[in-house]
Structure formats: structure tokens, C-alpha cells
Amino acid sequence: MFLGKVIGNIWATKKNSELKNLKLMLIQPINAELKDTGDIIIAVDTVGSGPGEIIYYITASEAVIPLPVNFAPVDASIVGIVDSINTEN
């Protein structure tokens, strides 16, 4: 799993039928110090997140696991909204 910040959403009127009724969000990957760590990605939102929220997400073939279908063209899925991060050693 990875940390990210939701920075926006995507509206697509035409998309693969397996993605129907699924919300697509723009995510900025971040580290535990909330610093940007990579390129912006698109992810399916499975938890009702919104812009500005810190989330965690999964990628690769596992990204389809939380979806209500057996197969979908998905590379990333948001699976949780972060309440707090503690990095004490």
C-alpha cells in the first residue's frame, strides 16, 4: 500500500463498461512526511474520498480486488482514508 493525497477528480462520459458508476480521482503520491514522491496517478475511489484528503491506495493487479467486478482495467484503487500518521521511532 502507498500514501497519497487526493488532488482532484476525473469526469469521463465514455469509459470501459466495468468502470461504470466508479469514481475516478487524481492522486499525488506522498511519503509519511506528506512530501510529494512521484507523478500524479488516476485511481478508482472505493471509499468515498475527496480532494485534499490523505488516503492509502493499492496498485497493480491487486487494484481490482476491492471492486464489485472480477476484472477491470484498473492500475490503482483508493482503499482507505488516513486519520493520522505517527512516525515516532
Q: Find the largest Cα–Cα distance for the chain.
A: 48
Q: Provide the residue ranges of all domains of the chain, joining segments of one domain with +.
A: 2-81
Cell reading at 48 = 468515498
pTM: 0.85
| 16-62: pLDDT as tens digits | 777 777 889 999 999 999 999 999 999 999 899 999 999 999 887 67
Cell reading at 6 = 487526493
Task: Specify which residues 59 forms β-bridges with.
Answer: 76
Among residues 88, 65, 63, 62, the alpha carbon closest in space to that of 76 is found at 63
Residue 15 makes CB contacts below 8 A (sequence gap 6+) with none
CATH class label, 2-81 = mainly beta
Question: Are the beta carbons of 72 and 65 closer than 8 angstroms?
Answer: no
Query: What pLDDT sits at residue 73?
Result: 73
